Amino acid sequence: MLSRSPFRDEFQFADNLIYLNHAGVAPIPNRTRRVIAELAEHTAHYGASRYPELYARHQQVRQTCANLLNTTVDSVAFTPNTSEALSWIAMGMDWQPGDEIITTGAEFPSNAIVWLTLAERFGVVVHRLPAEADGRINSDKLLEKLNSRTRLLTVSSAQFSSGAMADLKSLGLALKDHPALFVVDAIQTLGALSLEPETLHIDALAADGHKWLLGPEGLGLFWLSEKGMATVEPRILGWHSVANAGDYDHITTELKPNMQRFEAGTPNLLGILALGESISMLLEAGMAHVEERVLALSAAFAEGLQELGCELHSPLNLTGHPESGIVVFTHPNRETKQLSKLLLEKGIYHAPRGGGIRFAAHFYQDQTDVDQALQVLKASL
């Protein structure tokens, strides 16, 4: 039985709303809302007259993000979104006809369009391997495509349409001594499950902040390993990219020695400070605790859904539970689109994905949310 979380009071929903779309766009906690209001008030009263104070806070958030990833502060950059970070990688590599990319056919469009465009523009060969029948990503089949022409292998840490987890450990070990970059779209796990890119031998990681990180839209994280930094060159440059940023009288093109070289212009201070507050809350709770709660919620939903005769479309681990915070299902006696519409009308906020209904609960929720959602579902069948 999942007890009430002490962080539950951070979230204030409208009456009868059960929020199960953290894999889509998540709500922000009260503390983050207060930071946004505080910054708006600060800007209204002071404009930029106290900018150094805000800029120092923004650099503290960078350290908070590094703590989340258990990495160094110099390896973290802020990005407007996952799509742009992946595009920075694509634009920052020297592609030649015949170069190869390995990925899956189950990726979210952000982690597909950018690579397919390289095929059209530069003659790059993109291998898109389908997921298994149960939604899983077969690492062995991906690695069978690895050869001397491979420049990059990319997967999502968890699939948006099923919650299937990639075996990042085995992929990272296989690519550790290969020149190809190992690129991970981590948007469906970062903030829900523990993820340390250096431990997993990942070379590039990108994730928006508006899902499991509980931050606002328009701000995310971009991380590169030393190998990634040596391979990916910034192509979008500006006054913040250079080593002497702020020296307006002496223009140089010498870039900053760290990941801040990818941050071309004026930072999104509001988004950064807000995201930092949300991540600080997750770290206060402890990522091990967050992961335990997220997986327990998924397990509770999976059990309850099966008792109602639903068919799960999310692969289960050896204990018979979902692998991530995502649970996708259908019911044999109800048309999915109609059932989804009924649930939304009754306050069960979710997303239709993967041909089914996707539930994605976060750590601050508890058994009450599970029971209420299942009760509404039962009444809708």
The pLDDT value recorded for residue 297 is 99
Residues 232 and 100 in one domain: yes
Domain CATH number, residue 304 = 3.90.1150.10
pLDDT tens digits, residue range 8-46? 999 999 888 999 999 999 999 999 999 999 999 999 999
* Residue 1 falls inside a structural domain: no
To the nearest whole number, what is the mean pLDDT of the chain? 97
Question: By residue range, what is the domain housing residue 374?
Answer: 8-28+287-380
211 falls in which pLDDT band (50, 70, 90)? very high
pTM for the whole thing?
A: 0.97
76 contacts 259 by C-beta, under 8 angstroms: yes
How many Å separate Cα 370 from the centre of its chain? 24
pLDDT tens digits, residue range 278-288? 999 999 999 99
Residues 240 and 367 in one domain: no
Tokens for 48?
Answer: 């930029």
Residue 172 clears pLDDT 80, i.e. is over it:
yes
Q: What is the mean pLDDT of residues 120-128?
A: 98
Residue 1 clears pLDDT 80, i.e. is over it:
no
The pLDDT value recorded for residue 16 is 87
| Final residue of a structural domain among 253, 284, 315 | 284
CA–CA gap between residue 152 and residue 273 (Å, rounded): 33
* Residue 190 falls inside a structural domain: yes
The pLDDT value recorded for residue 318 is 85
Q: How many CA atoms lie within 13 A of 302 on its CB side?
A: 24
The pLDDT value recorded for residue 252 is 95
Residues 6+ apart with CB under 8 A from 30: 9, 10, 11, 12
Residues 90 and 221 in one domain: yes
| Residue 152, beta-bridge partner list | 101, 181
C-beta atoms surrounding 376 within 10 Å:
17
Residues 223 and 369 in one domain: no
The pLDDT value recorded for residue 207 is 99
Domain CATH number, residue 43 = 3.40.640.10
User: In terms of Cα–Cα distance, which of 219, 227, 228, 258 is closest to 241?
Assistant: 258
C-beta atoms surrounding 142 within 10 Å:
22
pLDDT tens digits, residue range 39-77? 999 999 999 999 899 889 999 999 999 999 999 999 999
How many domains is the chain partitioned into structurally?
2
* Residue 58 falls inside a structural domain: yes
b or e along 21-59 (b: 16 or more beta carbons within 10 Å of the residue's beta carbon)? Answer: bbbeebbbbeebbebbeebeeeeeeeeeeeeeebeeebe
pLDDT tens digits, residue range 321-345? 999 999 999 999 999 999 999 999 9
Tokens for 215?
Answer: 């931050």
The pLDDT value recorded for residue 51 is 87
Is the sign of the CA dihedral 112, 217, 136, 161 positive or negative? Answer: negative
Is the sign of the CA dihedral 57, 60, 65, 67 positive or negative? Answer: negative
Residues 90 and 219 in one domain: yes
The pLDDT value recorded for residue 15 is 84
pLDDT tens digits, residue range 219-242? 999 999 999 999 999 999 999 999
Residues 193 and 327 in one domain: no
Residues 122 and 206 in one domain: yes
Residues 117 and 141 in one domain: yes
CA–CA gap between residue 31 and residue 10 (Å, rounded): 7
* Residue 2 falls inside a structural domain: no
Residues 269 and 319 in one domain: no
Q: Which amino acid is at 248?
A: Y
315 falls in which pLDDT band (50, 70, 90)? very high
